Amino acid sequence: MMPKKKVEKKKKAEKKKEKVKEVKLEKKKEEKVAETKEEIKTEEIPKQEKPVEVVEEIVEEEPIPILEEEKPVEEIIEVKVEEELAKWTPRTNLGKAVFKGEVTDINKVLDEGIKIKEFQIVDKLVPGLDSELTLIGGRPGKGGGIERTALRISAKMHRSGRRYTTTAFAIVGNKGGLVGVGKGSALDSRNAIEKAIEKAKLNIIKVPRGCGSWECDCGQPHSIPFKTEGKGGSVRIKLLPAPKGIGLAVDDESKKVMRLAGIKDVWGKSLGDTATRINLIRATFDALKNLHRYRTSK
C-alpha cells in the first residue's frame, strides 16, 4: 500500500494537468472564434455610399452703401469761411466799414495801424489766403526718436481723470507780402486748427520786400531789403538778404513763413533752443515785423 502523502501529491498533479488542458482548450476556442469573425468581415461587401449633392444657396448680396470721401481740412475751412461771411454781423467800426464796402484795401488798414479784431475782415478783404501748420507736436517713431506732428496733445489730471487738449500753430499768408501766425487750443483737432487760423488772421502784418543783396541788386522784391533780427523765448534768429538763386537758406519751419510771405531768397542764422518750434516761428515772425524799423521806397 502507498502512503497517504504520495497519493495526495499524485491527485494534486493530476488536477493541475487537467486545469492546464482546460486553459489551452479555451484559448484555442477563442482563436477559432476570432478567425471566423475576421472571415465574415472580409466576406461582407462594403456598401457604397451615395455622394451627397451639395446645393449652393444663392444669396442676393445687399448693395454696399458708397460712403462719401472725407474732405481735407483745407476744403472744410474754405466752406466754413464762406458760411461765416454769409452769417457775419460786424461789431467793430472797421468791420462795419468793410461790410458796407467803404474799406476795400487791407494795405490801408495795416498802414494806418488799425487793430483788426474780427477775422472776417481779413476773409473779406483778402480772399483765398493760404495756410500751413507748424510741426509742434511729437510721438515716438518706429526706430526710436520723435516723429513730428502738426498737433500737440497735452493731458491735465483731474479728479474725474485725464483731460486732453489739442494745440495747433498756424501760419497764413497770400504769398505777396502778407503773413500772420497764431496758436489755437481746443478739445478736438479740427476746432484747434480753426482757432489757430483765425488768430493768425488777426495777427496779419505787411512784410516789406526788396533786393538788399550787394551781389544781386536787381531791384525786384524777391528777398528782404536789409538785415533784421527777431526773438521768441530763448530763440534768436538773424535774416540776411540773399541774391537770386540762393533760395530759402533757413530751417524747414521758417521756410513756411517765408514762402507764405512771398520771400524767395534769404539767409538765416538761428541761436538758442530751436527744437521748440513755436518760439522759432515767433522769432522769425518778429524778425519780419522788425523790418518796419526803417522806411523803404517799396
User: Rounded to the nearest 10 degrees, what angle do helices 277-289 and 252-261 cross at?
Assistant: 30
pLDDT for res 20: 77
Domains within the chain, CATH numbers bracketed: 73-128 (no CATH), 129-293 (3.30.230.10)
178-194 per-position pLDDT tens digit: 999 999 999 999 999 99
**Number of CB atoms found within 10 A of residue 184's CB:** 19
79 SS3 class:
helix
Element (H, E) at 267: strand 266-271
pLDDT for res 76: 45
pLDDT for res 54: 45
186-221 per-position pLDDT tens digit: 999 999 999 999 999 999 999 999 998 888 888 889
Strands ordered across the beta sheet of 235-241: 228-232, 235-241, 266-271, 248-249
Rg (Cα) of the chain, in Å, rounded? Answer: 45
C-alpha to C-alpha distance for 261 and 280, rounded to whole angstroms? 16
pTM above 0.75, yes or no: no
What does the DSSP assignment read for 154-168? Answer: EEEEETTEEEEEEEE
pLDDT for res 297: 61
In the chain (298 residues long), the average pLDDT of successive 10-residue segments reads 66 78 78 67 50 46 42 52 83 93 92 92 92 90 83 91 94 94 94 95 94 86 94 95 94 95 95 93 96 75
Residues 242/266, Cβ–Cβ less than 8 Å = yes
118-127 per-position pLDDT tens digit: 999 999 999 8
User: Residues of the chain with pLDDT > 70: what percent?
Assistant: 81
C-alpha to C-alpha distance for 201 and 181, rounded to whole angstroms? 7
pLDDT for res 69: 42
Locate the DSSP E strands across 106-252.
Answer: 130-133, 137-140, 146-149, 151-158, 161-173, 178-186, 205-206, 228-232, 235-241, 248-249
